[in-house]
Structure 1
Amino acid sequence: MATNVVTVFLRHGPDVLLLERSADVGSYPGQWGAVAGHAEGDPAAAARRELCEEAGVDDAALVRRGDPFEVDDPEHDTWRVHPFLFDAADRDVATNWETASHEWVVPTEIRRRDTVPELWQSYDAVRPTVETVAADDEHGSAYVSLRALDVLRDEAALADEYTAVAAVARELCDAKPGMAVVRNRVNRAMHEADRTPAAVEASAHAVARDAVDADEHAAERAADELAGASAVFTLSRSGTVDAALRTVDPDRVVVAASRPGGEGVAVAESFATTGIDVTLTSDANVPAVVADCDAVLVGADAVLPDGTVVNKVGTRAAALAGRDAGVPVFVACAADKIASEERAVEADGDPLALYDGDADLAVENPIFEAVPGRLLDAVVTEDGPLSGDDVATAADERRTWADWE
């Protein structure tokens, strides 16, 4: 009978945590593995317990649970492995006696190390795919772009021919057609690599590291623009906005519910755990609450070459309200969200979510909308506030990245 065990990958940015097993453990000393342990009872509960015991992490977010599989090891046992993937808030870990050393590494490093049996198979069961990137409606576009780079890197590590990698790159560019940052970062990784799988693997990881830095610096620059603001309005979900507001630590944050989708509710709940005074309001009430704030800070799905910002529906109302009340309106995003070309804004919300009656009427339930640059005080990236010429120049550069084919 197989012994149930969990293998738990802890991810931060593009890297995962690997642990070198100490000489004191009963199996596989000196080999590298993920957080692991026996799964007595519920494997999900065991995964969180092992994260706490072996890494000192109790607040990681579950990303994916893979299908279990069996590993037959005549020297030890037959293991029934339950793979898990969690996202960590930071890289601070506290290992116990079972670990001799630990490293944050690119996941494809698993294939080059002396590891516990079938560690790559465990990672393969939970790693992102083109399909999971396309289906991700829970995270902001910067996060999704990192996962797209993960896919490109992993598939390049597995590929024998460049043509197979190129096919994956094309699929990723099409996976989120509305997210310019996904397309830009995949294109850059391909543009900067020689036409070999190994070169793409290295390039994808390098671009991902740059992307993490760019997102962090964009948040810092946005925080600089908000210096002195005691009440800030925001809507929808943006990792860059979240990081900027946590840096500013205003007295009050007002968050619109952001329907359809309602992701503003989770955003408001998240800020409430920080001790900031948080108000969740309806989308219809946005003009009134903006007038009582010192600044508006929102993210962007894309910034078009002419300075138009595409973001969650409701952003234009907030921008108009800010202009009417004399409240500055800032957009915070990495420069990789600047699109290389103009594009239409798709009204792709489910009409039945708005009206499922029998009347003969048309229904519009858009998710995104275009906000003219004239309504915004600044688009703030890792390079600081951008002028119209800056945006056009950045768009030209990203257009060249698409020439990798």
Structure 2
Amino acid sequence: MEETHVVTAFLRNGTDVLLLRRSADVGSYAGRWGAVAGHAEGDPATQVRVEIREETGLDPDADVTLVRAGDPFPVEDTERGTRWVVHPFLFDCDTREIAPNYETAGYEWCPPPAIRERATVPDLWTSYDRVRPSVTSVRDDETHGSAYVSVRACEVLRDEAAAGAGYDALCGTARDLLAARESMAAVRNRVHRVLAEADGESADAVLTSACATIDAALAADDGAAASAAVELRGASLLTLSRSGTAFDAAVGAEPSRVVVAESRTAREGVATAERLAAEGMDVTLTTDAAVATLVESVDAVLVGADTVLRDGSVVNKVGTRGAALAAAEADVPVYAVCASDKIAPDVDPDDPELEDAPAAALYDGDAALSVANPRFDVTPAHLVTGVVTEDGVLSEAAVATRADALRALADW
């Protein structure tokens, strides 16, 4: 049987993936739904980018970002006498506007479970299954903010339910997700919500609830960004780290300029600065150590929040507290923007559990020394001018009230 290597690329925007219906001009599986695909002529990792450009018109170096490559697997088509070896990939995509070529008769952006309901090329779901979010990918994501990670956690439950996992197994997966990112309130609250609001103890109920929770989460994140944009319209800003909600708020605010701290040790602030510059903004990238000096030159500090404690304190990427202290000295307001799902109902404000970054990221030498490389710090409420959510700026009392409501979700 002839063996042919092919690439399959899922482009994801938000939580939807791009499905393409193959035209009558292609050599195989005309009329069926697939993803971006093509023969792997040489290196699959290189060829997949060629296919993305040819089949969507997108720039594979600017419009998409590789999330992960899955292990290749065989698919035997005895009718055609072909043994396909599929190399699956997942990319995040910045836009839904594509220009398909002659190989495509139509396309849709849709939730991945739709794959299982359509006439597709062979084993398209298996391709997606190899690259979809997992407990491991949620646990190991050290790059994205908690809004992004929490949505991926809900996707894990959605996709497991769609794949046929039973209710008890889904509850086990939920507990694994909770343990994977214990310090991220958004992950806890949104995973709890999926199970708490499932109308009946069944996989179908979890699937329905997961989809609804994802939609609500994305709307809340967008709403928080819009609220902050109104609050900070036209102001010059200082920010740090890589919060998707803070990025959207900054873009919406149309600031006169933005100063971005690099955010060591992972330096995710560099990517934020590049993205803001790509939006046409006046951007200055600086070191974390220079924040105390440069904060005097801006109108406001804008940061995301991994967690908001019930007393209004903010847990965020390390460096946030230092920026807030410097801002207080310079009489510059500090705003934390996030969806209200990031409020932690059960975390002791006096003793929050904070994740550490790997020690080797800071020092991998042989000297007899200890390494302190915290990933997060806590900014006290009195240093935060306002926590901006989808409901606007919340008072400390409103934060506590919201925390009480979120606590009830854990009783599933």
Query: TM (normalized to structure 2)?
Result: 0.93
- How many Å separate the matches in 1 of 2:355 and 2:34? 46
Alpha-carbon deviations, 1:8-46, whole Å to 9, x = none? 111111211111222332211221111111121221222
Alpha-carbon deviations, 1:65-104, whole Å to 9, x = none? 1111121113332212111111111222222222222111
Match of 2:5 in 1: 4
Report deviation, 1:270.
Answer: 2.5
What is the SS of the residue equivalent to 2:86? strand
Aligned length: 402
What is the SS of the residue equivalent to 1:2? strand
- How many Å separate the matches in 2 of 1:118 and 1:90? 26
What is the SS of the residue equivalent to 1:27? coil
Q: Of 70, 74, 77, which aligns to 1:70?
A: 74
Is the 1:153–1:201 contact (alpha carbons within 8 Å) kept by the matching residues of 2? Answer: yes
Match of 2:234 in 1: 228
Alpha-carbon deviations, 1:300-335, whole Å to 9, x = none? 110011111111111112112222212111101111
Match of 1:314 in 2: 319
- How many Å separate the matches in 2 of 1:400 and 1:322? 36
Match of 1:197 in 2: 203
Alpha-carbon deviations, 1:356-403, whole Å to 9, x = none? 5645x6543322111111111110011110111211121111111111
The alpha-carbon distance between structure 1 residues 18 and 350, as it changes in their structure 2 partners (threshold 3 A), is closer
What is the SS of the residue equivalent to 2:354? coil
Is the 2:73–2:87 contact (alpha carbons within 8 Å) kept by the matching residues of 1? Answer: yes
Alpha-carbon deviations, 1:35-61, whole Å to 9, x = none? 111121221222112222222222111
CA RMSD of aligned residues (A): 1.7
- Counterparts of residues 24-63 of structure 1 (less than 5 Å): 24-58=25-59, 59-63=63-67
Is the 1:347–1:364 contact (alpha carbons within 8 Å) kept by the matching residues of 2? Answer: no
The alpha-carbon distance between structure 1 residues 354 and 122, as it changes in their structure 2 partners (threshold 3 A), is closer
- How many Å separate the matches in 2 of 1:33 and 1:100? 11
Match of 1:398 in 2: 406
- Counterparts of residues 160-309 of structure 1 (less than 5 Å): 160-193=165-198, 194-229=200-235, 231-309=236-314
Match of 1:116 in 2: 121
Counterpart AA for 1:222: A
Is the 2:317–2:376 contact (alpha carbons within 8 Å) kept by the matching residues of 1? Answer: yes
- Counterparts of residues 106-145 of structure 1 (less than 5 Å): 106-145=111-150
Q: Between 391-400 and 262-271, report the one with greater CA deviation.
A: 262-271
Is the 1:345–1:368 contact (alpha carbons within 8 Å) kept by the matching residues of 2? Answer: no
Can you give the 5+ residue segments of structure 2 that lack an aligned partner in the other structure?
none
The alpha-carbon distance between structure 1 residues 3 and 348, as it changes in their structure 2 partners (threshold 3 A), is same
Alpha-carbon deviations, 1:230-266, whole Å to 9, x = none? x210011100111111222323211112123222222
Q: Between 179-188 and 152-161, report the one with greater CA deviation.
A: 152-161
Report deviation, 1:121.
Answer: 0.9
Q: Between 343-352 and 198-207, report the one with greater CA deviation.
A: 343-352
Counterpart AA for 1:164: A
- How many Å separate the matches in 1 of 2:228 and 2:88? 38
Counterpart AA for 1:15: D
Match of 1:336 in 2: 341
Is the 1:219–1:240 contact (alpha carbons within 8 Å) kept by the matching residues of 2? Answer: yes
Counterpart AA for 2:223: H
Q: Give the % identical residues.
A: 57
The alpha-carbon distance between structure 1 residues 7 and 388, as it changes in their structure 2 partners (threshold 3 A), is same
- How many Å separate the matches in 2 of 1:52 and 1:387? 48
